[in-house]
Amino acid sequence: MALTRRQFLTLMGGSAGAAVLFQACGLPEKELLIDSPPSMPEDLVSGIDNWYATTSQQAGRSEGIVVRVMEGRAKKVEGNPDYPLNLGGHSALSEAALQGLYHPDRISSPLVRTGPRGSGEYREISWEDAIGRLSSQLNELETANESNRAVFVTNPQGGHLGLVLNRFVDAVGARHLAYEVLENNILRNALEEVFGSDSIPEFDIDNADFILSFGADFLSTWISPTRYARGYGEFRQGHEHRGKLIHVDSRFSLTAANADQWVHVNPGTEGLLAMSIMQVLSSSHPDPVFQSLDSEGILDSYSPSNVAGEIGVSEETIKRIAEEFSHSKHPIALGGGSAGAHTNGSQNLKAIYSLNRVVSNVGEKGGIILNPKSPIDDIGAAEPANNFSEFHTLAEEMKSGNVSVLMVRDADIYYGMTDTADMKAALNNVPLIVSFGGINDDITSIADLILPQHHFLEDWGTDVPVAGPGYQMIGFQQPVVRPFFEHRGRNLGTKGFADILMTTAQVMGKDLGLEGQTFQEVIKNGAKKLYELNRGQVVSNTFEGFWNGVLQRGGWWDVEAKESAVPDVRSLRGVDSPEFGGGSQQEFYIQPFVSTLGDGHYSSLPWLQAMPDPISTATWQTWVEINHKVAEEKGLSEGDVLEIRPANGRVIKALAMPNPAVPPDILGIPIGQGHRDGGRYSAGRGANIMSVLDLKMDSELNSLAWAATKANITISGEWMRVPKFENTVPEFPRDEHHSIIEITSGEHH
């Protein structure tokens, strides 16, 4: 296996040093064996392929990939078997990157709007013209001493691109806001308070024997799912003893489906359950976490008898979970997703992560491994996004005319913000919207000036993962193909985002203080700092050798460079009850969830649109998971168009999909559809649940509590077939004697 991997890796190099194997003269012998049966259907003399390593940072995840390139075209993505986080596996999202690269609706040159805003009428302009327009606007603001009327909204971005971006906004005096539809701020802040670092630690799922997860759909979409799935396989069948997973959630997610036990709790009570578990353990586990709570008598108010009713579980269940958690050799508690998306979200997550301190698993095998700082000073992981309330304030500023230039990159505030924050109207009031989008996402579709960036498979970059592997690493992103629109010439086509910023700064006469004239040079010079450390997995006595090695391997990492300090426990306060938008008049809790399209950013990719949602098998639409019995009572069946009506008066339509696992008071609705644009596979399909949410905030951080809206449903009378995979083939008979599931007792190992 080791040899195989090495052979494989020799084909992945990125530059002149890459090994390219040429076929021996003439046809390989096997090709001539016409009677060789398997060659009949595929009797092609195939060309030479090369695999290049790069890194995908899509959806803020870090995945090492290798891309198969033939005749200059990217054909297939696979996982990089050496990349610390995914070790060979890869996600559908990485796979679908190829459809982003070759998307039929990609923007192939800079554009300036000619028709009314949002009309889609544009004229191609040259890069010189486009950058000239942007820089003259920024110059004008500077001359008028109004540079802070320029606002730059991007995705949270680390690595060298983050460095260029920061230098750029500083140099032009603009304000920078980082945007995520589903913020990780609450999570990162809770981690900071519990573990002293806001980077997301490595969860050593591989070696854990008991996982207690709260709300975090880590086997499907949460944070770094490919990495967690890899751990999960080992957790189940990689050791003598099969690990046990208990998942606490108000919705039946994919992680709940895979758990040995799904503990259904009332929405937003996850933290109460964590506190109650601590209360049960406080006598047997004298731990600093408890001291402040204990001394103030806070903990006792969370005893199982006090809170079981509110949580919606039995006292015995709480005690049994506490028992199992504390008696396991390698327990981990983790939480996020909807558990952190309530008005008490911060408190929930702090209580959940504190459970790890109780069992002292920090820095331990099978526990929580803290991530060390980046090996290079000025290059780090992405900072947390700005809070929702800052974007709400931004909308107010736009309305009062205080924003003159809005620049956006991979941050669709037109799509992602709830309409209760009135962002769409506010954007109307911004005189110049500049987008760097490579495809018409919603914000780009109303932009005045578009400077289309390269696809990441055409561009350079580095990735310091927010959720690192527990040791220092930097992923390297290199272009695996030449820019697809290169044939349009130097003055049209797309450019790398960092290079656009660097050129704009240059035109404005600003010195960004970067080492290099192009982004590639900046990265290469950055790599010198790594080389000078003289450690890590790539060893070479020349820098060029090191550089090639790092590109071939997809990055640099040093498995010895770990974080050894385990900081003191911060004090933990109690957990309040959650509050909701709407009240007893609203029958259901809306539980938005991420299905196959991420936060909606990937709705343009047909493989992801057509990928069945794992629970419902639905595709291409917005559906509502509703309890099958509730549906029956209401006379609802699959495909009935429901109107979802929160108390704020807004409404969206979605298709009913009853299933037996939905709690009776929950409407599970996937995020990701309902775009005004996004190209032919995205525009105008389904509905956007984010757009109707109430303005409920986390009580500590003012992040949007996106799971805190209640709603009623009305039946519209319309019906539409749900595009789903289920029943595409006749139901597969389950053989009684050979059930796919073996039911065994707990001792069976």
Partner 1 sequence: MADSNKWGMVVDIDRCTGCQGCVVACQAENNIPINLEEHFNQRRAIQWIRIERYWEGEYPNVKARFIPIMCQHCGNAPCEPVCPVYATYHNDEGMNVQVYNRCIGTRFCANGCPYHIRFFNFWEPEWPESLKNQLNPDVTVRSRGIMEKCSFCVQRIQRSTREAERDGVDLEDGDRGLNPACVNACATNSIIFGNFNDPNSEVSIIKEKEMKEGGRGYGLLENLGTDPNVIYLKKVDESVEVGHGH
Chain positions 653 to 682 lying near partner 1, rule: CB under 8 A, are 659-664, 680
Looking only at residues 589 through 618 of this chain, which bind partner 1 when binding is defined by CB under 8 A? 596, 606-608, 610-612, 614-615, 617
Distance between CA atoms of residues 553 and 496, nearest Å: 22
Confirm or reject binding of residue 261 to partner 1 (CB under 8 A). yes
Tokens of 334: 């983790």
* Maximum distance among all Cα pairs of the chain, rounded to whole angstroms: 83
Confirm or reject binding of residue 20 to partner 1 (CB under 8 A). no
The torsion angle over the Cα atoms of residues 370, 374, 375 and 380, rounded to 10 degrees, is 180
Confirm or reject binding of residue 89 to partner 1 (CB under 8 A). yes
Whole-number minimum distance, CB 680 to partner 1, in Å? 8
Whole-number minimum distance, CB 250 to partner 1, in Å? 11
Distance between CA atoms of residues 78 and 66, nearest Å: 5
CB-based burial, 587-604: b 16+ in 10 Å, e otherwise: ebbbbbbbbbbbbbbbbb
Looking only at residues 33 through 72 of this chain, which bind partner 1 when binding is defined by CB under 8 A? 37-42, 44, 46-47, 70-71
Looking only at residues 680 through 699 of this chain, which bind partner 1 when binding is defined by CB under 8 A? 680, 685
Residues counted in the chain: 749
Whole-number minimum distance, CB 96 to partner 1, in Å? 7
For partner 1, the closer of residues 95 and 364 by Cβ is 95
Among 21, 533, 559, 565, binds partner 1 (CB under 8 A): 21
Looking only at residues 299 through 358 of this chain, which bind partner 1 when binding is defined by CB under 8 A? 308-309, 311-317, 320-321
For partner 1, the closer of residues 421 and 618 by Cβ is 618
Q: Which residue from 627, 633, 646, 642 is spatially nearest to 722, judged by alpha carbons? A: 642
The burial class, CB within 10 Å (0-12 / 13-18 / 19+), for 539 is exposed
Give the contact letters, 203-242, x = binds to partner 1 (CB under 8 A), - = no.
----------------xx----xxx-xx-xx--xx----x
CB-based burial, 561-571: b 16+ in 10 Å, e otherwise: bbbeeeeebbe
Confirm or reject binding of residue 373 to partner 1 (CB under 8 A). no
Whole-number minimum distance, CB 90 to partner 1, in Å? 6
Give the contact letters, 488-507, x = binds to partner 1 (CB under 8 A), - = no.
--------------------
Looking only at residues 157 through 196 of this chain, which bind partner 1 when binding is defined by CB under 8 A? none
Looking only at residues 377 through 436 of this chain, which bind partner 1 when binding is defined by CB under 8 A? none
Among 64, 81, 367, 674, binds partner 1 (CB under 8 A): 81
335 pairs with which residues across the strands? 214
Pairing mode of beta strands 623-627, 652-659: parallel
For partner 1, the closer of residues 227 and 553 by Cβ is 227
Query: How many other CB atoms sit within 10 Å of the CB of residue 729?
Result: 7
Whole-number minimum distance, CB 480 to partner 1, in Å? 13
Instruction: Select the span of 181-189, 419-427, 540-548, 718-726 touching partner 1 (CB under 8 A).
Output: 718-726
Q: Please give the sequence-ordered ranges of beta strands (E in DSSP) within 57-106, or none if there are none.
A: 63-70, 73-79
For partner 1, the closer of residues 231 and 555 by Cβ is 231
For partner 1, the closer of residues 391 and 602 by Cβ is 602
- Which DSSP symbol is given to 438? S
For partner 1, the closer of residues 90 and 188 by Cβ is 90
Whole-number minimum distance, CB 655 to partner 1, in Å? 12
Confirm or reject binding of residue 555 to partner 1 (CB under 8 A). no
Query: How many other CB atoms sit within 10 Å of the CB of residue 314?
Result: 12
Do 557 and 468 form a contact (C-beta atoms < 8 A)? Answer: no
Looking only at residues 263 through 292 of this chain, which bind partner 1 when binding is defined by CB under 8 A? 263-264
Whole-number minimum distance, CB 368 to partner 1, in Å? 21
Long-range contacts, 738-745 (Cβ 8 Å, 24+): none
Q: Which residue from 468, 231, 180 is spatially nearest to 340, judged by alpha carbons? A: 180
Sequence-distant (6+) residues with CB within 8 A of 534 are none
Among 76, 123, 241, 482, binds partner 1 (CB under 8 A): 76
Confirm or reject binding of residue 254 to partner 1 (CB under 8 A). yes
For partner 1, the closer of residues 33 and 144 by Cβ is 33
SS3 call for 248: strand
SS3 call for 9: helix
